[in-house]
Amino acid sequence: MFVLVNGLIAGLALAAFLALGDGLFGTSTFSVLIDVSYVPGMENLPSIVELFIHLLISLVIAYVWLRFYPRGRGIEAAKYVFYWMLAFAVAFLPFSLLSGSTLSWTALLIWVLGHLLYATVLVVQVKRNRE
């Protein structure tokens, strides 16, 4: 149940944050997040279906977080989150290029902050789940 609820909450928070950032700063990070048109057979999916695919991926990530998040506090947990954040940040470049989005420092910053929000939601929920 943890994975379903918290994966959806974190995924929706990320999507909402990126959409808000796009509206405020004219970036296209939300479309980078949900675009799957570069996958063969998924070229013309409606945006809502692409969002559901994003949420499914969020469920998988939430499962991995619950399963592998370090039990101890401190440096191990911080390193775990740092490596995930690094992976999220690095993912911006190929996903932006694949979706045909314009690259900018503003878009990267919004992407990283959105994924920091995503990670924070999962960390808080993992800690609550373990108490």
pLDDT at 31 over 90: yes
Alpha-carbon gap, residue 48 to 54, rounded angstroms: 10
Span 97-115, pLDDT tens digits: 999 988 899 999 999 999 9
Q: How confident is the model over 9-20, as a mean pLDDT?
A: 97
At residue 131, the pLDDT reads 66
Alpha-carbon gap, residue 44 to 67, rounded angstroms: 35
At residue 27, the pLDDT reads 95
What's the chain's average pLDDT? 92
At residue 126, the pLDDT reads 85
**Residues with Cβ < 8 Å from 121, sequence gap 6 or more?**
6, 9, 10, 13
Nearest alpha carbon to residue 59 among 2, 107, 113: 2
* 25-88-131 Cα angle (round to 5): 110
At residue 30, the pLDDT reads 96
Domain residue extents for the chain? 2-130
pLDDT at 72 over 80: no
In terms of pTM, does the model score above 0.75?
yes
Q: How confident is the model over 59-75, as a mean pLDDT?
A: 87
Whole-Å CA distances, 63 to 35, 42, 53, 125: 23, 25, 16, 12
